[in-house]
Every structure is written in structure tokens, then in C-alpha cells.
Amino acid sequence: MIQTLIIKKMMKLLIAAGLTIVLIVANTKDNTAAKVRNFDLARFFNVESNLVESQNFDDKRFRDENAPNLDDSQKHSESFMLSGTASHYADKFHGRLTANGEIFDMNGFTCAHKKLPFGTILKITNTENNRTTLVRVTDRGPYVGDRIIDLSLGAAKWIGNIALPKIKAEGFDAKIENGKDMFFAYSEDNDLKIVESESFDIKFTGKDFSSALRKYRELKSKSNINNIYLFVKADEMNVKYGKKGVFYVGQIKPESLFAQK
């Protein structure tokens, strides 16, 4: 009789232990599945590029085959030029976060570059037809072949080639001494300039680059002497992750424009 009771108790303990193990395994599987379902890879596109330590242009970090070769006399507010093949990206990434924390608009005027600081504005020229546009670096890439820049669809269309055009890209080094009252001036038709604040009149101010670019083009179409530029403060060109800069559109005063020429 005693042996029977002992056997029954042991069987109950074994059954209880077995149920406990089954529940533990089941809960582990459910939690794992939940983690997998909630992990959205799209949110982490180009996440490594957010780890850029400095927002200042550093020619030691910028060493691909098309890198500008800056000497000591060119390390303060000098322009640089890159040349090579461009590509574009569109639907697959439209509405997603870019590497600098903004939302990608495929119809806007932005670009991806492997190392240029976020916020860098580039004048892009399609060397096959000489059509130009201005774009702003907001993302990282391209990582295919020997392409040097990835344009938004809107920018690629504007320069007349959504395939693989040969382009040149012009921009400014972010470093500038005593740049408080200095501005980088960008034009789709004229050379890039560095100007003082008193040499131009501001007609538009905004925090959205594409809106500023549209206003620039609108005013440019009405200008008889083609003195309309898009301006950025020289000491504020490159902004921190997730933040936008301030963009100005205006006209360089004729006396200043002709004096520079």
C-alpha cells in the first residue's frame, strides 16, 4: 500500500515537472517569434552611417578614388569638385528614414554620399548635357560599383538622366575661419561663391531645402542679370543628426556681383 502511494506521488511530480518544461519551452518560442515580428529592417536602413563621429569635412576620412586632394592652403572654406558616375534611388526608399534622420522624398532634391558631411549642398552637373541642379546630402551610399553619388529621383530627372549619367559635383569644405558673417552662395548657372552678409538682399528664409530651391528657381526666372543665389551660413552648413539647417534665397547686389567678377 505504501509503495503504491509513493509511486503515485512520484508520477504526479513527474507529470508536473513535464508540464512546467512544456510551458517554459512554449513561452520561449512565443517571445522569440514576437521579437522577430517586431524587428522592422526598414527602420534600420543604413543605420551604421549614423555613427559618423564628426560633421566636419575631414580630408583624411575622405579617401575614395574621387576624393579632393586638399593641401594646407585649401582647408578653410575652399570649394572642391568630384567627378564620376551617378545613380538614383526612388520608390523602394520613399518615406523611409535617411541616414541623417530625415524622411526620404524621392521627388525632392537630395542625395546620398559615402562620407560627405550631412547638410553639404552640392551643385550637380550632368556632363553629357550640361544640365544642373542643387542637392543636399542626407543619406549614405551608393555601395554599388564605382558610383560616386546616389541622387533622388527628382534630382536625376532634373538633370535629364535617370540611368547612370556622368556628373561632376561641386561643393564647399565645411571648415571656415571667422565665418560668422560669411555665407556660401549656390547657383545652378553661376560659379559657387563665398560672400559677406551685406553683399546680398534676402528674399526668402526657410528650413526646407526643396522649398528654398523652388523659390530660388522662381526668382531666378524673373532676374534680368541672373544674380539670384541660395545661401547658407558658412558656420552652419552642416547640421547634427536629425536636425535641419536654415536656407536663404536672395540676390547679390549688382555692385558686389560685378566686383567679384
Q: What is the SS3 assignment for 153?
A: helix
Residues 78 and 199 occupy one common structural domain: yes
Q: What is the pLDDT of residue 132?
A: 97
Residues 69 and 140 occupy one common structural domain: yes
Q: How many CA atoms lie within 13 A of 8 on its CB side?
A: 5
Give how far the C-alpha of residue 131 lies from the chain's centroid of Cα atoms, to the nearest Å.
22
Residues 114 and 186 occupy one common structural domain: yes
Q: Are the beta carbons of 109 and 138 closer than 8 angstroms?
A: no
Q: What is the pLDDT of residues 120-172, one digit of tens each?
A: 999 999 999 999 999 999 999 998 888 999 999 999 999 999 889 999 999 99
Q: What is the SS3 assignment for 86?
A: strand
Pairwise CA distance, residues 121 & 237, whole Å: 8
Q: What is the pLDDT of residue 2?
A: 52
Q: What is the pLDDT of residue 35?
A: 29
Residues 6 and 80 occupy one common structural domain: no
Residues 33 and 136 occupy one common structural domain: no
Q: Is the model more confident about 17 or about 28?
A: 17
Q: What is the pLDDT of residue 10?
A: 63
Structural domain including 197 reads 44-260
pLDDT above 60 for 40: no
Residues 88 and 190 occupy one common structural domain: yes
Residues 34 and 55 occupy one common structural domain: no
Residues 35 and 101 occupy one common structural domain: no
Residues 212 and 246 occupy one common structural domain: yes
Q: What is the pLDDT of residues 157-212, one digit of tens each?
A: 999 998 899 999 999 976 665 567 889 999 999 999 999 999 999 999 999 999 99
Pairwise CA distance, residues 113 & 13, whole Å: 65
Pairwise CA distance, residues 10 & 5, whole Å: 9
For residue 103, the domain's CATH number is 2.40.40.10
Q: What is the pLDDT of residue 180?
A: 72
Residues 12 and 132 occupy one common structural domain: no
Q: What is the pLDDT of residue 145?
A: 85
Using only the alpha carbons of the chain, give its radius of gyration. Answer: 28
pLDDT above 80 for 244: no
Residues 87 and 104 occupy one common structural domain: yes
Q: Is the model more confident about 214 or about 32?
A: 214
Q: Give the number of domains in the chain.
A: 2
pTM: 0.69
Q: What is the pLDDT of residue 64?
A: 35
- Residue 13, C-beta contacts closer than 8 angstroms, at least 6 positions apart: none
Q: Which residue has the cell 569635412?
A: 57
Q: What is the pLDDT of residue 243?
A: 60
Residues 34 and 60 occupy one common structural domain: no
Q: What is the pLDDT of residues 47-105, one digit of tens each?
A: 333 223 223 333 333 333 333 443 343 344 578 999 999 999 998 999 899 999 999 99
pLDDT above 60 for 30: no
Q: What is the pLDDT of residue 224?
A: 87
Task: Please provide the distance, in angstroms rounded to a whole number, between the alpha carbons at the two ends of the chain.
Answer: 114
